[in-house]
Structure 1
């Protein structure tokens, strides 16, 4: 049995592993530090409030159904389903944020080392179209004098004649 005056053998200073104490170990609270930002705390609180509220409303509907309100049996089933949906959405958002955090933590690959990959064909059967940013097109005025188009001028003359002769039929047009 050690006595209070006995000292533990000391380790040499060079063999001390500081990386294991500073790096985030997967599965620990330190690795999940990004879940404790103000935005995530608000999400956690909202999830807990909604789940407790929905389960409370389900319990209330069970008590109403037991008192003879048969419609409340349906609501008694619905409210816990809503609570489960809230938990599912919260869990999915945590997973998505964790994936994004892991992807951002990985160093960017050197483009020279990456193998060249041919782009996939534009249209493949059963493939979903890629969603891309909208393209802004600058409007450039058409070079030329308005009225150069003879077909357009003839059509405009026809429309003005129809406007001037409201009872006329299109076959009555003299032009």
Structure 2
């Protein structure tokens, strides 16, 4: 339960209470207008409590998600699953890994003219970023 009393969660709790009370107050106000003869206000009198219910639903879903904690690895994973580099996405039955398409040149290959020093350094940087997926650009040792 300590996870729900961080400063960020306290702001979420307060925002939820303020929004729910505000939406219910607006619904009550619309009921008063509707009984005074404004027929359109009956729709709003129903709509505002629905908004309050939606806020409660989202808040409750986020509380359950926070209490559930980080995702645990499936028991059916192969034994060598720990050998995979950290930060690599793992495909599961409910969350497939989607990767960007690879573009392949269809024209004839150009002759290798030799690499520019800046281009070689940039390619080394890109290789390093690819090999270290969780790293930030500022972590680059080169």
SS across alignment from 2:109: coil
1:73 aligns with 2:54: no
Query: Unaligned stretches of 5+ in structure 1?
Result: 1-31, 115-126, 146-175
Aligned twin of 2:98: 132
Shift of the 131–71 alpha-carbon distance from structure 1 to 2, 3 Å rule, reads farther
Shift of the 135–97 alpha-carbon distance from structure 1 to 2, 3 Å rule, reads farther
- Which structure would you say has the larger Rg? 1
Query: Unaligned stretches of 5+ in structure 2?
Result: 82-92, 112-142
2:59 to 90, 103, 109: 90
How far apart are the structure 2 equivalents of 1:138 and 1:35?
A: 49
Shift of the 68–93 alpha-carbon distance from structure 1 to 2, 3 Å rule, reads same
Deviations 1:37-76 (CA, angstroms, capped at 9, x unpaired): 1111111111111101100000000010111111101100
Tell me how far 1:131 sits from its aligned partner.
4.3
1:57 to 26, 33, 37: 26
What is the TM-score with the length of structure 1 in the denominator? Answer: 0.46
Supply the RMSD in Å over aligned alpha carbons.
3.7
Tell me how far 1:143 sits from its aligned partner.
2.1
1:100 aligns with 2:69: yes
Tell me how far 1:112 sits from its aligned partner.
4.0
Shift of the 80–99 alpha-carbon distance from structure 1 to 2, 3 Å rule, reads same
Shift of the 84–136 alpha-carbon distance from structure 1 to 2, 3 Å rule, reads same
Aligned residues: 99
Q: Which has the higher helix share?
A: 2
* RCO higher in structure (CA 8 A, sep ≥6): 2
